[in-house]
Amino acid sequence: MVLRLGHRIPRDLRVTTHVCLTARAFGADGLILADVVDTTLEKTILDVCKRFGGGFWIRMGEPWRQVVKDWKSKDGEIVHLTAYGISLPEAMKPIKVTSGPKLVVVGAEKVPGEVFEAANWNVAVTNQPISEVSALAMFLDRYFEGNQFSMEFENAELKIIPSAHGKKVVNLAEPES
Amino acid sequence: MVLRLGHRIPRDLRVTTHVCLTARAFGADGLILADVVDTTLEKTILDVCKRFGGGFWIRMGEPWRQVVKDWKSKDGEIVHLTAYGISLPEAMKPIKVTSGPKLVVVGAEKVPGEVFEAANWNVAVTNQPISEVSALAMFLDRYFEGNQFSMEFENAELKIIPSAHGKKVVNLAEPES
């Protein structure tokens, strides 16, 4: 599960959309948009899910402190992705060992110090200024060990078929009888 | 080298900034912004380079067809990242075997069919709708085999030191005498 902090409407619509699409494609169950409700974002993501399938969900407007508190009360663990954290290769070892479900927290810009303290691990995908979109992709890639390349998305209406030089899309939706 | 197509001012400023930061942190030499000149973007990237070091460069306003033509005339090879392409794990094998320098092309939305034809390889980071930011990170991660985690950035004024729960930044700039 991914928790997206700091989303500002409408400024962050495109980047947060990219965060959501990445979370979905790389195997996260769903994403919570903390504190705000962005119906444009929700509509975009639900439309992708309808067309391309899978069970990815999006929730919005929940205070992040409550999400964190609830998660921890159920023995969940928190990974916060930040340029200030421990480098991903080193951080992954303890993260993979523990069995608790993981909440991956990504911020937009200024992330409150409380998040750093609440996280079980603060993880950096390089200690350079980067994008939360690429940080999330890299973390999920390492966590799920590249499994995103063999995921199936059930109930898809459309499916892209890999092509060396073209664009092949198959319409899987049932024809109306 | 990365070629960024389809950047629209001001709409794509944040996403293209994320593309540039990802390219830099993951080891690309530089990025060409095709067809348009965005001085706000340039200023942001140059500021990051000044503060965090390294030799990453940005060029702008060059017609993409000319960039592609020049690249190919010098025996360069082109990797185009697209959801329609061959899956990354499969595509990487021939890409790693050939020795020509690689130009990685990332588009914003509608990428012209000519790009698909001009590319030596059209590569998909999953065949799901995703973000060019995460696609670029994943490609460079595989191409450079995770080397981004050990890169050094020369002439940095600031350096982030990995921290388990805090924010440690060292000022490396020479004091004025």
Residue type, position A58, single letter: I
For residues A138-156, average pLDDT: 96
Q: Is B16 on the interface with A (CB under 8 A)?
A: no
What are φ and ψ of residue B169, in 5° steps? -125, 130
Nearest 5°: CA angle at A77, between B128 and A125? 55
pLDDT at res. A122:
98
Residue B177: exposure state from Cβ atoms within 10 A (0-12, 13-18, ≥19): exposed
Q: Is A10 on the interface with B (CB under 8 A)?
A: no
Mean pLDDT taken over chain A: 95
How many Å apart are CA B46 and CA A59, to the nearest integer? Answer: 37
Cβ atoms of A77 and A117 closer than 8 Å: no
Closest CB to A134 among B14, B22, B117: B22
Confidence of residue B99 (pLDDT cuts 50, 70, 90): confident
Q: Distances from the Cα of B82 to the Cαs of A40, A98, B49, B106, in angstroms?
A: 25, 35, 28, 8
Confidence of residue A109 (pLDDT cuts 50, 70, 90): confident
For residues A101-110, average pLDDT: 93
Q: Is A37 on the interface with B (CB under 8 A)?
A: no
pLDDT at res. B95:
96
Judging contacts by C-beta atoms under 8 Å, the chain B residues touching residue A166 are 84, 116
Closest CB to A21 among B84, B130, B168: B130
pLDDT at res. B108:
87
For residues B147-170, average pLDDT: 95
A40-88: pLDDT as tens digits: 999 999 999 999 999 999 999 999 999 999 999 999 999 999 999 999 9
HSE of A11, CA atoms in CB hemisphere, 13 A: 6
Residue type, position B69, single letter: K
HSE of B57, CA atoms in CB hemisphere, 13 A: 5
Prediction ipTM score:
0.95
Q: Distances from the Cα of A143 to the Cαs of A22, A40, A62, A91, B69, in angstroms?
A: 14, 30, 26, 11, 40
Is residue B176 scored above 60 in pLDDT?
no
> How many cross-chain Cβ pairs, A to B, lie less than 8 Å apart?
162
Mean pLDDT taken over chain B: 95
Is residue B36 scored above 80 in pLDDT?
yes
Is residue B177 scored above 60 in pLDDT?
no
In this prediction, what percent of chain A has a pLDDT beyond 90?
A: 94
Confidence of residue B175 (pLDDT cuts 50, 70, 90): low
Q: What is the DSSP letter of B104?
A: E
* Spatial CB neighbours of A87, under 8 Å, sequence gap ≥ 6: A123, A124, A126, A127, B149, B162
For B6-30, give the secondary structure using H, E and C.
Answer: CCCCCCCHHHHHHHHHHHHHCCCCE
* Spatial CB neighbours of A27, under 8 Å, sequence gap ≥ 6: A140, A144, A147, A148, A151
B56-75: pLDDT as tens digits: 999 999 999 999 999 999 99
Could A21 and B131 be called an inter-chain contact, meaning their C-beta atoms sit closer than 8 Å? yes
Could B128 and A166 be called an inter-chain contact, meaning their C-beta atoms sit closer than 8 Å? no
How many Å apart are CA A11 and CA A16, to the nearest integer? Answer: 9
Confidence of residue A174 (pLDDT cuts 50, 70, 90): low
Cβ–Cβ contacts within 10 Å for residue B82, how many? Answer: 24
Closest CB to A15 among B18, B124, B136: B18
